[in-house]
A = this chain, B = another copy of it.
Amino acid sequence: MHDSIESSTTLARCHSRNARHLAGIALAMLLPLACASAVAWDGLVEKQVFEMDAYTTVSGETIAPLRVGWEAYGTLNEEKDNVILITHFFSGTSHAAGRYAEDDEAPGYWDAIIGPGKPLDTDEYYVIASDTLVNLNAHAPNVTTTGPATTNPDTGEPWGTDFPLVTIRDFVEVQKALLESQGIERLHAVMGASMGALQAYEWASAYPEQVERLIPVIGGGVADPWLLATLSAWAAPIRLDANWNGGDYYDGEPPLDGLRESLKLVTLNANHWQWANETFDRSWADKDADPTRELEARYAIEQTLDGIAASRAELADANHLLYLVKANQAFLTGHGESLEEGLARIEAPTLILYSESDLVFAPEGVRQTAELIEAGGTEVETVTLEGKRGHLDGVVAIDQAGERIRDFLAE
């Protein structure tokens, strides 16, 4: 089916669910429905879409229809008990591993640990990654997940701010429906970074009997006041852009200037001064425009951050960013009365990975989260990630924890 498919050296598997296979119906029809000779995942993926006719949010509002993107790596076994769910960060998508095409510049964000023989071994596990609702990258070619930029069939217009506010718990509920559509009732593990960690905590707290292992990365059990304020700062530039127009801009110019500045702040906050000071110097963006002499002239680091932000803004939607800010701010594990109560419901052995130089999720809050889960009698291990990227080390330097993750998954 593909030149690079390797024959599996491990157990035979049924129902090969290589995402690419499922996507191409013609190919899928060629696959025997019963147990086939197994194939290792070849590293190529295709975005899948799960659709619900209607979804009612936790707060009681209806989104109809609802679409959410997902990808999978590896094969679901017959017992359907080899599932690892991957939940993504604020600016991410469900593209956690692999490439859409062999010449893709970069693979999914956690490709270092997901694949044949890797810590999340696709020869053993069925690794499924799901978009969140209101995915930031509404205009990315592989994202069709529902949010404010989606056309509301009732009006024929984009939802805009009529779209219901959603929470991390809503993200979990949609993922649960996605898994159920594949007959999956329990998770060998749930693992996610940053906003993905929030979804992972929520999964383990809301459905303790269905989550066997919990691996939150660079995230705590609650949006603490520091995070509330940080997220507020991320939202501000969009609101300052006159084109935002209270969220009603789908007929005109989108608030791209504001969106770019928002994403610049996200990039900066998710990094660390160690990264900035080792990666850049005081060079000018343009050797003929001295930033000490011209108000509009910039330094190279400003140009680079502006460039990153501009690329990201092209794929993103401003209202989606504001909705994600709201969802993150609203987060309290269990969405109940207290953090203690929400975390005490977690029964899954937990491996928390975090960075002491994280500027988004205060390390103190992560350690407190670990203590509160342990207080309920659950086993928790915390592992610090080393690096110079601060928060981002949980994404770009995850490989350092690979063997610990592999062992944890086998325990």
Question: A: which residues have CB within 8 A of B?
Answer: 59, 161, 165, 167, 222-226, 228-230, 232-233, 236-237, 240-242, 247, 257-258, 261, 264-265, 268, 273-274, 276-277, 279-282, 291-295, 298-299, 301-302, 305, 322, 326, 329-330, 332, 359, 362, 364-365
Contacts and interface: CB of A to CB of B under 8 A. Distances in A.
A364 B223 CA distance: 29
A291 B322 contact: no
Contacts of A257: 240
A223 B222 CA distance: 34
Contacts of A232: 264, 298-299, 301-302, 305
Contacts of A322: 295
A295 B230 CA distance: 16
Contacts of A242: 242
A22 B301 CA distance: 47
A4 to B, nearest CB: 41
A5 to B, nearest CB: 45
A292 B167 contact: yes
A364 B276 CA distance: 12
Main secondary structure of the interface of A (DSSP, over half): helix
A403 to B, nearest CB: 30
A293 B226 contact: no
A264 B233 contact: yes
A59 B161 CA distance: 50
A282 B257 CA distance: 30
Given A236-B264, A292-B326, A299-B329, 19 more contacts: A167-B292, A222-B282, A224-B282, A225-B280, A225-B301, A226-B276, A229-B268, A230-B268, A232-B301, A233-B265, A236-B237, A236-B261, A247-B295, A273-B364, A277-B364, A277-B365, A291-B329, A292-B330, A359-B359
Contacts of A329: 291-292, 299
Contacts of A247: 295
B236 A277 contact: no
Given A225-B282, A301-B228, A332-B282, A291 B326 contact: yes
A219 to B, nearest CB: 14
B332 A273 contact: no
Given A264-B233, A268-B229, A224 B292 contact: no
Nearest to A225: B280
Contacts of A237: 236-237, 240, 261
A165 B297 CA distance: 12
Given A264-B233, A364-B273, A295 B225 contact: no
A165 B295 contact: yes
**Would you list the 10 A-B pairs with minimal beta carbon distance, nearest first?**
A225-B280, A226-B273, A292-B330, A226-B276, A273-B362, A240-B240, A236-B261, A225-B276, A225-B301, A232-B302
22 contacts: A59-B293, A161-B295, A222-B282, A224-B273, A224-B276, A224-B277, A225-B276, A225-B282, A228-B280, A228-B282, A229-B301, A233-B268, A236-B237, A237-B237, A240-B240, A240-B261, A242-B242, A273-B359, A277-B362, A277-B365, A295-B322, A299-B329
A277 B326 contact: no
